[in-house]
Amino acid sequence: MTTTAITDILSSPAKTKASAPPRTLSDFPRNVLGEIAYHLVVDDQGVGQHPSSLLPLLLTCRTIHDAISFDDHPALYNRLFRATFDHAALTRRYLWMKAHMANTAARGQKTFDLFADPRAWATDYKTRWEQSWRMRQVVKHAKIEVPGICDKEQLTADLWNVWFLLTENDGKNINFLAEQCHFQAWIVVYYKEDMLKDSLVPGYPQESGHKALGIWCALLSGTDLSAEQTPAEVDEKIFIMRPYVFACAKYDVTYAPWHHRRLPLCDPTCKEHEPDVTMRSKAMPYKRFGYTWRRAPPHFVLGAYLVFLRLLERHSGRMGFKPGSSTFTRAPADAGRPGLYSTTRIMPSIYHDREWQRNSVCQDPHTSPGLTALAFRGELEGYWRGKFLFYDFDMYRQILAGHIRGVYTGTFAEQAIEMDIKETVVRVRKEDLGGKGSMLCAGFDDEDDGEAEIKRVREGYGNEVIRDLEQAADEEGWTKEILLSGKARTSWGWATVRGRVRSWDGLVTLAIAYSRHVMGRWLWRGYLHTGGNFIGRWRDTFTSEHLRGYEGAFGMVRAGDIFYPAHFPTRLEDSLGVDVSGAPATGPLGPLAATAAQGAPAMPSSALLSRSPAGPGGGTSSSARLDVDVDVGAGPGVGVGTATSIPVPVPVATADVIPSEGPGEGATALAPAPPREREVESESEGDEQRRAKRARVDTAGNEE
């Protein structure tokens, strides 16, 4: 409704003769002035623009100012929030939380009513516009700490707000970030001022909540491609990521230790429990809607794995692979086409719902209620392709003993894997969740007959198989569990797969057994993250579950999911298998190819908006999606190298590892690692950064 239309209505003959039309603008009723103010900010398409257009009206006179000011008319700014930002996800998640936490609320906990007070939404509206100015100032000054404007504490608050904008995005939020916040330039300043500088401090870099938010904001927006315009920048990013990817003993990747079968450990009313550093709460405070909340951010290290795998795809020539890596066999027509981690997409909000739920209800393994038993039903069945990384074994033993230098100088191999998984839902007693077998066998029996074991899993493994989920209500003391079974193929041959999903947080545990290969058995543990990325760690099964074993990163993508390349096979039967091809073929060594950079900006624009065919569960979704398929070079697997032997790591004996309390305690004598060459320094690297990087590696050597 325009201002002219409002005036026409108020002065029409239909009004009673006793009411005279307003003589001045200030004579209009408060609700009409609010309507005028609303249409000054909102365009003809109903999308809110910058609120600076309100200033002339606010400065007209005191009466009008008081009628439409933030303090006196919160309903106006509530409406402006809804016109300017996406809010469908807020409503959807609030209703989920209200239903999911009903039992907890009934015990006397206060439940926030998101829709009761328009002032809550108005507060968020004001906060976001203040933050947009602050982010532009950070870009202007090229530093994250600007006196009187931004500091480290404010940075964490801003990162939370950016994360919410991205995970609630259905088209409006991403435009706000790109146009009003200069987000792409801002995230580069954050990366250089925080992560890069922290990586140059002696010792292991610290993981933190704001780092977790930063790395996932970069991944969710596609800006993890930034800061790679020169070989030096690429080397810096590799240098930053190596400790998080290869020093597995130093960083957690789970919401609760993987060997706990049933969670939470305590009753929700519990206030005291035994101190245990491995069971600490992951929650962080943040402010929103005028209140302070707590939430567990997504895991930083899992985000680092995904960044590294994508970096590997673009710049494999600078990675320092050891011989024996393997890749997927490609048809000649697919040579040079994008690899598994070459796709960048900005997803609609519905794809983020499950991660939001997990971060809400899996904060503390002692008391958090956790997810529902079948939260990930249907998300694991299908054909998967992925990669896993093997670090130099001798150097890994040195890292376990506390020698940091090996993190930066050791070599690693990349292995390709494909897997076909089937889900089976069973009814189990709550005390039997997680199975009765060893956790090194994913809770199953330690049996050698792989095919017979797969059959047992699909028949319920002694439990009732649930086929009609809608009719299968849980009785007191009973619940449901998702069992997994299938087969996998790597360059080492075929393997059987048995696994299960820990319902509390969705932790997926897979026991992978090679029947005809010296590689034996391995245990994979990880999470399904936004967009269907299955990210986690593998480990050996010779080491006790309570000790640190031989571990490494893996990542997988399911056929048909949003990040799976369209030209890849969608069934195991259609795959050409896996090649052993020595070191991966060299990818681009410097900036992205010009065609890739032109076709795939790091921050996709609104012109790329398209319709999403399906939501995360396979159902229809009408949410908007920004899609960009990024061809970032040939990467591993293009071209055939000289066949070489497969790297066979020596099984880790219990005596060779140390308890999980930390390196250096209880370690037995380890074989000295062979001398390694100093990390290659790029000629284009700045003198200051080159000296800092050299000092860090030298310091690591002195610590030994």
Tell me if 322 sits within 8 A of 647, measured CB to CB: yes
CA–centroid distance for 192 within its chain: 20
Which of 426, 487, 486 has its CA nearest to residue 461? 426
Residue located via tokens 């530093």: 143
Q: What is the mean pLDDT of residues 633-652?
A: 32
pLDDT value, residue 223: 94
CA distances from 96 to 102, 531, 632 (A): 10, 20, 39
pLDDT value, residue 385: 98
Tell me if 566 sits within 8 A of 294, measured CB to CB: no
pLDDT value, residue 100: 82
Tell me if 191 sits within 8 A of 226, measured CB to CB: yes
Cα distance between residue 231 and residue 238, in whole Å? 11
Q: Which stretches of 445-514 are DSSP H helices?
A: 450-458
Q: What is the mean pLDDT of residues 418-434?
A: 97
DSSP state of 646: P
Q: What is the mean pLDDT of residues 301-328?
A: 89
| pLDDT tens-digit map of 438-473 | 999 999 999 888 899 999 999 999 999 999 887 677
Coil, strand or helix at 552: strand
pLDDT value, residue 8: 52
Q: What is the mean pLDDT of residues 404-416?
A: 91
Tell me if 317 sits within 8 A of 271, measured CB to CB: no
Crossing angle of helices 183-190 and 209-221, rounded to 10°: 140
Cα distance between residue 197 and residue 190, in whole Å? 10
| pLDDT tens-digit map of 129-179 | 999 999 999 999 999 999 999 999 999 999 999 999 999 999 999 999 999
Tell me if 295 sits within 8 A of 613, measured CB to CB: no
Point out which residues pair with 625 in neighbouring strands.
610
Asked if the model's pLDDT at residue 252 lies above 90, the reply is yes
Q: What is the mean pLDDT of residues 508-537?
A: 91
| CA angle at 203 for the pair 197 and 209, rounded to the nearest 5° | 60
Asked if the model's pLDDT at residue 182 lies above 90, the reply is yes
| pLDDT tens-digit map of 667-687 | 333 333 333 333 334 444 455
pLDDT value, residue 111: 67
Cα distance between residue 285 and residue 160, in whole Å? 10
Point out which residues pair with 421 in neighbouring strands.
382, 486
Cα distance between residue 76 and residue 88, in whole Å? 19
> Is pLDDT larger for residue 546 or for residue 2?
546
CA–centroid distance for 450 within its chain: 33
Asked if the model's pLDDT at residue 437 lies above 70, the reply is yes
Which of 154, 124, 126 has its CA nearest to residue 138? 154
Q: Which of 150-159, 255-264, 382-391, 691-700 is predicted least confidently?
A: 691-700
Residue located via tokens 């409006």: 172
Burial 35-59 (b: 16+ CB within 10 A, else e): bbbbbbbbeeeeebeebeebeebbe
pLDDT tier for residue 692 given thresholds of 50, 70 and 90: low
Amino acid, res. 339: G
Tell me if 279 sits within 8 A of 368, measured CB to CB: no
Q: What is the mean pLDDT of residues 486-502?
A: 95
> Is pLDDT larger for residue 125 or for residue 229?
125
Cα distance between residue 527 and residue 227, in whole Å? 28
**Residue-range domain boundaries for the chain:** 3-84, 192-703
Asked if the model's pLDDT at residue 277 lies above 70, the reply is no
Q: Which of 45-49, 541-545, 643-647, 680-684 is predicted least confidently?
A: 643-647
Encoded tokens for 170: 């259905």
> Is pLDDT larger for residue 577 or for residue 619?
577
The number of CA neighbours under 13 Å toward the Cβ of 295 is: 22
Q: What is the mean pLDDT of residues 591-599?
A: 33
Encoded tokens for 177: 């970030």
Cα distance between residue 31 and residue 413, in whole Å? 67
Coil, strand or helix at 593: coil
pLDDT tier for residue 322 given thresholds of 50, 70 and 90: confident
Asked if the model's pLDDT at residue 688 lies above 60, the reply is no
pLDDT value, residue 9: 45
Cα distance between residue 170 and residue 595, in whole Å? 28
pLDDT tier for residue 114 given thresholds of 50, 70 and 90: confident
Cα distance between residue 554 and residue 309, in whole Å? 9
Asked if the model's pLDDT at residue 595 lies above 50, the reply is no
Cα distance between residue 555 and residue 536, in whole Å? 7
Coil, strand or helix at 76: helix
Encoded tokens for 277: 């550093």
State in Å, rounded, how far the first CA of the chain is from the last one: 73
% of the chain exceeding 90 in pLDDT: 62
Asked if the model's pLDDT at residue 370 lies above 80, the reply is yes
Residue located via tokens 């949003």: 562
- Tell me what the pLDDT averaged over the chain comes to: 81
Cα distance between residue 389 and residue 414, in whole Å? 5
pLDDT value, residue 487: 97
% of the chain exceeding 70 in pLDDT: 76
Tell me if 422 sits within 8 A of 484, measured CB to CB: yes
> Is pLDDT larger for residue 19 or for residue 125?
125
Q: What is the mean pLDDT of residues 264-278?
A: 71
> Is pLDDT larger for residue 321 or for residue 412?
412
